Structure 1
Amino acid sequence: HYLVLDSDGNVVLRIVGGMRLPDFQYAVARALSPKTSLVGTEKLYQSGKRDKKTLANYLEALNLAHKNDQFKAVGKEYMAMLKPKEYSKEENWKVFTSWIPDRKSDNYKYLVEHKADFVKNVGAEKGNMFMEGLFYWDVLSYATAHKDYDAMDMAQLLNEMKKAELPDSCDSYSLYKVAQLRGTKKYSELLDYLKTQGKSLGVSKIYVDMSLNKIDGDEQTKNKVLAYLREEQKQYQGTHARRLEDLIRSMENTGGVEFADLTFDQALAKAAKTGKLVFMDCYTDWCVPCRHMAKEVFTLPQVGGYFNEHFVNLKMDMEKGEGVQIAKRYNIRAYPTMLVLDTKGNVLKTVLGARKAEELLQMVRVDKK
């Protein structure tokens, strides 16, 4: 997060996020003129100056500052001024793509039909990267088994990727192969593919590896998965290595706490349906006491026996995904923090810090009236 200030300390330009050197130089240079700085363009806009050039400069400043709501509002005005043939111009790329929420939008259809024009003006790399992003999460959801395999939907995804003329080298095609092997339960082929072609998945590979505990094969398949994960753990360092270590331990554990792969709301719903409470382990990747609890306490049969009988058990990283909002909701500031919740999400018990098994069992007990 970078600020360009005037001599009185007022923000002239705000730059959020990292970028390549030429782009960063370009961004900083925009602070030197009131026609392109955030303060200058905002004043022009508020004064009623709304020609295309002024709006384009204002949008660029808002985009650099990550003022997304304002960018969206001004972008709507700007888009209304453009003729369709102007959509593919490089200076309109950011605002045009901001109006493509998914592959069902009219602007996406226009992008596919006129891809050659966009590639000519903005470059193939930028165009393909954006288009792939519209497929990525759908394909990843199948590859990590967050969505139940649907052969017809998968075929439709492949057809749309080809229609979008995505290059064969894009991550989504590799993820598609993973999803296909996994969905058709060809687990041996899946593991072989991950061993030999895993690098083609890029940063997505850790997500796939971390989801392999959900494979529903026989004991022989489970052992193959564990053998694969043990080898893969050697290739990782830091947080990823620790996460894989915890995953392997949980898969080897036959009597410890069974943590459900559910969202917070799903956990509450399951608790209500089964007549249980919710136990939530609020942790972070960097928390050493959290890892101690995961390895030395939650794996114990006596702990698992009580917790699995009385709770829907949930682990949630407070710095990622849904955990960020959960941390705010329950004012979680120390780790580990362990909560016992009723089916409405109300806190019944709070346990701060690592605890021995006997102490933890005593602290989480709730007398049901």
Structure 2
Amino acid sequence: MRNLLIVFVFLVTAFAQAQQEIKWMTMNEALAAQEKEPKKIFMDVYTDWCGPCKLLDKRTFHNKDVVNYVNQHFYAVKFNAEGNEDITYNNFTYTNPNYDASKKGKRNSQHFFANALKITGYPSIVFFDENGKLIAPVVGFKTPQQLELYLKMVKKDDYKTLTSAEAWQAYEKSFVATFSN
């Protein structure tokens, strides 16, 4: 009976952890999904060798509040900025013609889509509106509470009114985070 209880607890824990995952998709899948049901896109731009990218994945993207909010309000895209995936965006197919398979997991050439998005560092989080139009990239590791600011600002379209440094500073200062640690 005790062994059965241990197995049951293990299965419940595993199921709960599985439920706390962001539902990642490719950019091509997200753009196709937008055609059926318009929703903003939240893109994690990472590289295999990037330590802060791994930290973001572990600490922020597994936070239950982040997971729930992203899954509810966005199509979530995982994009390796040095990978070799073909992405068709705005009637153009972006590739990584200098990708070297022998360097997989190490520094590789930057994908043309990352270059087109003007990605300057990793990790970067990039937001797109419901029509697939680029809103903005946000560079660097973010805690769940720091990311919450951007998630809610984009979801509510508040970014459209933040047209000056002063407006951004006031918005940031007045924002009250509710996501747990």
TM-score normalised by the shorter chain: which range applies?
A: 0.5 to 0.7
Asked whether 1:269 is paired with 2:32, we answer: yes
Q: Which residue of 1 aligns with 2:21?
A: 256
Cα distance, 1:271 vs structure 2: 2.5
Q: Contact 1:278–1:340 at 8 Å: present in 2 too?
A: yes
Q: Contact 2:46–2:123 at 8 Å: present in 1 too?
A: yes
Q: Contact 2:120–2:139 at 8 Å: present in 1 too?
A: no
Cα distance, 1:351 vs structure 2: 1.5
Letter in 2 for 1:271: Q
Letter in 2 for 1:254: Q
Q: Which residue of 1 aligns with 2:140?
A: 353
Q: Equivalences for 1:26-37 in 2 at 5 Å?
A: none
Letter in 1 for 2:113: I
Q: Contact 1:253–1:299 at 8 Å: present in 2 too?
A: no
Q: Which residue of 2 aligns with 1:332?
A: 119
- 1:103-134 deviation per Cα after TM superposition (whole angstroms, max 9, x unaligned): xxxxxxxxxxxxxxxxxxxxxxxxxxxxxxxx
Letter in 1 for 2:78: K
From the two aligned structures, give the one with the greater helix fraction: 1
* Aligned residue pairs, count: 119
Residues in 2 aligned to 1:350 and 1:252: alpha-carbon distance in whole angstroms: 29
Q: Contact 2:41–2:130 at 8 Å: present in 1 too?
A: yes
Query: What is the TM-score normalised by the length of structure 2?
Result: 0.59
Residues in 1 aligned to 2:33 and 2:157: alpha-carbon distance in whole angstroms: 18
Q: Which residue of 1 aligns with 2:44?
A: 281
Letter in 1 for 2:31: L
Residues in 1 aligned to 2:35 and 2:157: alpha-carbon distance in whole angstroms: 14
Letter in 2 for 1:301: K
Cα distance, 1:347 vs structure 2: 2.0
Residues in 2 aligned to 1:270 and 1:253: alpha-carbon distance in whole angstroms: 23
Residues in 1 aligned to 2:137 and 2:35: alpha-carbon distance in whole angstroms: 20
Residues in 1 aligned to 2:136 and 2:148: alpha-carbon distance in whole angstroms: 12
Q: Supply the RMSD in Å over aligned alpha carbons.
A: 2.4
Fraction of identical pairs, as percent: 29
Q: Contact 1:268–1:343 at 8 Å: present in 2 too?
A: no
Q: Equivalences for 1:114-125 in 2 at 5 Å?
A: none
Higher relative contact order (CA 8 A, sep 6+): 2
Residues in 2 aligned to 1:337 and 1:364: alpha-carbon distance in whole angstroms: 13
Cα distance, 1:313 vs structure 2: 0.3
Residues in 2 aligned to 1:307 and 1:279: alpha-carbon distance in whole angstroms: 8
Cα distance, 1:252 vs structure 2: 4.5
Q: Any unmatched runs of 5+ in structure 2? A: 1-10, 86-95, 97-110, 159-181
Cα distance, 1:303 vs structure 2: 0.4
- SS in structure 2 of the partner of residue 299 of structure 1: coil
Q: Any unmatched runs of 5+ in structure 1? A: 1-222, 224-248
From the two aligned structures, give the one with the greater strand fraction: 2
Residues in 2 aligned to 1:319 and 1:284: alpha-carbon distance in whole angstroms: 6
Q: Equivalences for 1:167-206 in 2 at 5 Å?
A: none
Q: Equivalences for 1:1-369 in 2 at 5 Å?
A: 252-260=17-25, 262=26, 264-322=27-85, 324-365=111-152, 366=154, 367-368=156-157
Cα distance, 1:357 vs structure 2: 0.2
Query: What is the TM-score normalised by the length of structure 1?
Result: 0.30
Report the structure number with the largest CA radius of gyration. Answer: 1
Q: Contact 1:271–1:311 at 8 Å: present in 2 too?
A: no
Letter in 1 for 2:32: A
The 1:349/1:331 distance shift into structure 2, 3 A limit, reads closer
